[in-house]
Amino acid sequence: MQSRKTPLVVICGDVGAPPVPLRLGELVARLRRELPGVTPLLLGEICEAPQVLVEKLAGTEPDRVVIACRADPQAHGELWTRLRSTGAAPAATEIVDLRTAGGCSETVALEQSATLVSAAVSRVAVADLTAPVRERTSLSVGGVTRRSLLRGVNTARHYVAVWRPQHCGTAAACTACVLACRHGALRQQGRRVVVDGDRCTGCGACVVCCRNAALVLPGADLDALGAAVAVLGTAARRDESVVGVSIVCRHAEQVPLVGEGWLVLRVPSIEMVTAGWLLQLVSFGVNAKVLACKDRDCATCASDLEDFVSALMQALGFSDGEPATGRNPTASAVGAWGDRIELLEPEATLQALSALGALGPTRAPWRVEGPGCPLAVVGVDAAGCSLCEVCVGVCPTGAFVAERDDDGVLHLSVDSSRCTGCRVCVTSCPESVITLERAADAGLLSRGRQIVVSRPAVACERCGVPLASGLPQAALRRRLGGSHPKLTSGSARLCADCRLGGRSATGSRGRPT
């Protein structure tokens, strides 16, 4: 986790205006009390006159900034542009929407506004400023004049994922990020991952699937998001006026307002959200939902997540609304949070399942399937497996392990609790004997690591040369087809030289047997 740094908090003076006035003095006092080191800065109507913000921050060079205002999110473009000109880092800049629903009381408006600002501060405070930023620009909707074009205020910035080779522990061997991208924006080129900026939508799916933080994107920092969710979840448990936490795509049009009962966390897209995020909140006694934009992929992911979480809760015996409305989280769930919530899979889902009491020998068996499941059940055809250990080398989570025991027997084992269904093993297996099913199975998760293939150490029956694992005939036939019948027939315990009578597969003379 990144070290915390105190951000600058700017509150627009317009937030105190109708329809529901916000008591600015109380808001500032509360933020000072709850956020050590933070001194909120009250400015005029910066949404109407963004230049005021630039003038006020001139010379301060703030790198972390939180702005609270009531401007429509579609009007935030110029504020972002102005902030960039002051030196604020895109990864550590947040604009908090404090628009208030009609009928909201001043007390509720104050309570929820303070929570949203606190969550933004927590998010910005741990953001990684060392991460590189890449973006492309496009013209905003509406008219563009020559002056506005030169000033850059009528252009929209779209962040593009960046691959950091120094963080990629397997030198792009696992390709989990490539497989996770729905838009074909990532490809493997030698030992590098190349990001196509024209195809990248900035959804963040590649960021959340990488365990080495090799891919970065402003707004998709998991440590920063985890810190914000912890603040929102804690407030939702404490504040009876809050229904729960809503994780919202940044491009969603209908977003819950202050006073409508949902504390909002904005993400680049629902494509980067996993069921473990929602289950962590549920295990803490907090209702959780996702809100997608009109993009088909974003909407599909939201539907898949809600279907899986609903099916899982039913399988665990919880009725609709439980356990969130009970507000009685287990001690393990509360103690595990600290100042952040776990968003990396499979840890997020496993911690939530443990807190919900879903695992263990005394629990009734259950199994839930679906595309929204963040875990997977692995199948291996032992008869066709050559024990080449490619799956072991490419698995980013360590689900596959190959070990030789004291008797020389080589065992390939799989831990379903470590499998996130990235499909790297499936696409990398030279024998095509690995299958994955998007499912969470209580029995497999509780049992942990299971041996799926075992093969004793063997030697060539003719010459005594050690054979690595005794390659099955089925695997040989798949690899060589009918091109080398002498290699694919007869005993499996013969080395290549003995199969060919002292000649290699290319026809050259080998050593005599």
Give the list of residues 6+ apart from residue 416 with CB closer than 8 angstroms, or none: 375, 376, 377, 378, 399, 441, 444, 445, 450
Least confident of 105-114, 376-385, 407-416, 472-481: 472-481
Give the pLDDT confidence score for residue 320 in this predicted structure.
Answer: 58
Residue 4: pLDDT over 70: no
Q: What is the mean pLDDT of residues 53-81?
A: 79
Tokens for 478, please give them.
């798949």
Can you tell me the distance from the alpha carbon of 9 to that of 114, in angstroms, rounded to the nearest whole number? 12
Q: What is the pLDDT of residues 7-30, one digit of tens each?
A: 889 888 777 666 777 888 899 999
Give the list of residues 6+ apart from residue 71 with CB closer than 8 angstroms, or none: 12, 14, 47, 79
Closest listed residue to residue 412, CA positions, set 444, 379, 374, 460: 379
Secondary structure of 325-357 in the HEC alphabet? HHCCCCHHHHHHHCCCCCCCCCHHHHHHHHHCC
Give the pLDDT confidence score for residue 81 in this predicted structure.
Answer: 77
Give the pLDDT confidence score for residue 140 in this predicted structure.
Answer: 47
Given pLDDT bands bounded at 50, 70 and 90, which one contains residue 411? very high
Given pLDDT bands bounded at 50, 70 and 90, which one contains residue 481? low
Mean pLDDT for the chain?
Answer: 83
Closest listed residue to residue 219, CA positions, set 257, 146, 256, 272: 272
Q: What is the pLDDT of residues 179-189, one digit of tens each?
A: 999 999 999 98
Q: Where in the chain is the domain with CATH 3.30.70.20?
A: 134-216
Q: Hey, which bits of 13-115 come out as E strands?
A: 41-43, 65-69, 93-97
Q: What is the mean pLDDT of residues 346-355?
A: 94
**What's the pTM?**
0.84
Least confident of 345-354, 405-414, 462-471, 499-508: 499-508
Give the pLDDT confidence score for residue 334 in this predicted structure.
Answer: 44
For the CA atoms of the chain, what is the radius of gyration? 28
Q: What is the mean pLDDT of residues 197-216?
A: 94
| Residue range 377-455 in CATH 3.40.50.300 | no
Give the pLDDT confidence score for residue 295 in this predicted structure.
Answer: 95
Q: Contact at 8 Å (CB) between 11 and 38?
A: no
Give the pLDDT confidence score for residue 1 in this predicted structure.
Answer: 45
Q: What is the mean pLDDT of residues 417-425?
A: 95
Given pLDDT bands bounded at 50, 70 and 90, which one contains residue 427? very high
Give the pLDDT confidence score for residue 466 in this predicted structure.
Answer: 64
Q: Where in the chain is the domain with CATH 3.30.70.3270?
A: 377-455
Give the list of residues 6+ apart from residue 222 with CB closer than 8 angstroms, or none: 207, 208, 213, 343, 344
Residue 3: pLDDT over 60: no
Q: Which fold has domain 134-216?
A: Alpha-Beta Plaits (3.30.70)
